[in-house]
Amino acid sequence: MKQVPKIEKYMTPMPHSINSEVDLNAAKNIMREYGIRHLPVQKGGKLVGVLTDRDLKLASTFDKVGNFTVEDAMTPDPFTVDPAAPLNEVVRDMAEKKFGCAVITQTNGKVVGIFTATDGLRSLGEILEQNYKPIL
């Protein structure tokens, strides 16, 4: 029987991240420019949240309130895992808790990757192709 792969095999390495004090419109532009839906948020070099496209949509409903920073709109305390975490455990936790992403961090807290639902589907497709014959 094969070993379950580690999350680091399927994560997106070295994801873009953003400072918590950045203007929300600047964050929106970065996400649009790079085609990303999840952006790790750091404050003083420490991971403090994740900004998602859903967070941006919600914040846009309050556009008359004033200028927002990333910290105002982010989801605090993101789901984090070690690069050596087994893929099956990460995807199971994400599905059970309805998380859109896992931020991959080293033991020192450094962000080294991100694993999104899209990465999960990509990994599922690869695993199925490697282990099963196509239906004809």
| pLDDT of the residue at 133 | 84
Q: Where are the chain's structural domains? A: 7-131
CATH superfamily of 7-131: CBS-domain (3.10.580.10)
* Residue 105: both structure tokens together: 């961090």
Residue 101: how many other CB atoms lie within 10 Å: 25
pLDDT > 70 in the chain, percent: 97
* Span between the terminal Cα atoms of the chain, in Å: 26
> Which tens digit of pLDDT belongs to each residue from 6-43?
999 999 999 999 999 999 999 999 999 999 999 999 99
66 falls in which pLDDT band (50, 70, 90)?
low
For the whole prediction, is pTM greater than 0.85? Answer: yes
Please tell me the distance from the alpha carbon of residue 1 to that of residue 59, in angstroms, as a whole number: 47
> Is pLDDT of 68 > 80?
yes
**Which 3 state secondary structure label does DSSP give 105?**
strand
**Which 3 state secondary structure label does DSSP give 89?**
helix
97 falls in which pLDDT band (50, 70, 90)?
very high
51 near 36, Cβ under 8 Å? Answer: no
> Which tens digit of pLDDT belongs to each residue from 72-91?
999 999 999 999 999 999 99
